[in-house]
Structure 1
Amino acid sequence: MTTLHRALTDPPLPLLPRAADDLLRSLDAPPRLAAHLRAVHDAARDLLGWLATRHPAVAVDHEAVLFGAATHDIGKCPHPAELAGPGSAHEIEGHRLLLAHGVPERLARFARTHASWTDAGTTFEDHLVSLADKVWKAKRVPDLEQLVVDRLAGATPGWEVFMELDDLLTGIADRADSRLAFQNAYPITGASQVL
């Protein structure tokens, strides 16, 4: 069994969407990247579950958010140094890579938008993927959270939505240590290494 296979299948995090899993395997992705994508995908599932329960009237493309969370950093396959340090080359490269593998733009866009949620034209789905990419490790970004609150505020007062979202994000952040431990249990290199 390879370390990549383990990073994609070991408990306790939910499995990635099949198309994302297949793509990561075909690219022989770094195991640490696969584990990271599962951690962010887990946080995105929590966000979507909360939305479905607390704000069911809000239109959101669940498939796009889950796929986006599962592939947003795929550009780190050709830029593995960005797994251990800063860098943004993976954003444009990931978008290009996904399009080259036949992924439609509505799903590929998250690779380039996950770190630029304030850019014109970003969608609610982009904001949710960006939020999942922050809160999985207990990082809170007030400006990003406010974008989500602003989208949800309507019949429900903004302060109430803020309090609900804050409670949800606190709960997601409370599991950050276990997600970080899961991610860090896998090496940055050695996807094909057999254990």
Structure 2
Amino acid sequence: MTSGVLERALTDQPEPPLRPLPESAAAILRALDAPPRLAAHLRAVHNVACQLVDWLQTTYETVQFDADSVLFGAATHDIGKVLHPAELSGPGSSHEADGYQLLLAHGVSENAARFARTHAAWTEPDIDIDDLLVSLADKIWKAKRVPELEQLIVQRVASISGQEPWQVFMNLDEELDRIAADADQRLAFQAAYPITT
């Protein structure tokens, strides 16, 4: 049975509003009776991923990526913290591999589950633009800028779009500044929910 606090974390509307998680992701969180703070975090990161997807589709139409995978990945990337709740308030990476396994156990495809493993591993050789977007959403939601990660995205977008890297950087930088401006509200939304139910 889902706790009322978890349900509120999944449905409350702060200012500015957050988009709802994909229903398949929300259903997994309910089935696991996930910590409310985790649900709030996933909503914040998912909302940022929605903004990044919208921006990329509008600004760089030639860049092909799987928007649904990016949004599901952002909505579930930290699911392993159900098993490692201490990592909700402190450092740790045990949730990454365990989250991947947890999603597989809930019938999620390997392709969709991979973001639990890859969201902190953007330098690995098999990482694609979808993985990079989830990683970026997981940083910029709290206004954290990671130049190495941003540069990887700039290089991918520039090579596909034909636009000069400096121009891609300027466009991305402007979008990230816009998204980062609401970081305090997202952080407050997450902090409003307890780690335990």
TM over 0.5: yes
Partner of 2:170: 163
Moved over 6 A (4+): none
Q: Could you list the per-position Cα deviations for residues 113-159 of structure 1 after superposition, in whole angstroms to 9, with x for gaps in the alignment?
A: 00010012111100000000000000000000001000110421110
From 73, 76, 90, the counterpart of 2:78: 73
Amino acid at match of 1:156: Q
Q: Which residue of structure 1 lines up, in the alignment, with residue 108 of structure 2?
A: 103
SS of the residue 2:56 aligns to:
helix
Amino acid at match of 2:101: R
- Structure 2 residue 26 is the aligned partner of structure 1 residue 18: no
Report SS of the residue matched to 1:153.
helix
Q: In structure 1, what residue type is equivalent to 2:31? A: S
- Which amino acid is the alignment partner of residue 194 of structure 2? P
Counterpart AA for 1:116: A
State the secondary structure of the residue aligned to 1:103.
coil
Match of 1:8, as an amino acid?
A: L
**Structure 1 runs not aligned, ≥5 long:** 191-195
Q: Which residue of 1 aligns with 2:185?
A: 178
Decide which of 3, 6, 21 is 2:5's aligned counterpart: 3
Aligned residues: 190
State TM-score, norm by structure 2.
Answer: 0.95
Question: Offset at 1:57?
Answer: 1.1
Q: Aligned partners of 2:87 and 2:155: how far apart in 1?
A: 32
Paired amino acid for 2:36: P
Aligned partners of 2:110, 2:117: CA distance in 1, in Å? 11
**Cα deviation digits, residues 63-95 of structure 1 (max 9, x gap):** 100000000000000110000100000000000
Equivalent residue, structure 2, for 1:31: 36
Letter in 2 for 1:56: E
Specify every segment of 5 or more residues in structure 2 that has no aligned partner in the other structure, as ranges.
Answer: none
Taking every aligned residue pair, what percent have the same amino acid on both sides? 63
What's the Cα RMSD here? 0.8
Asked if 1:140 is matched to 2:145, the reply is yes
CA distance in 2, matches of 1:36, 1:183: 5
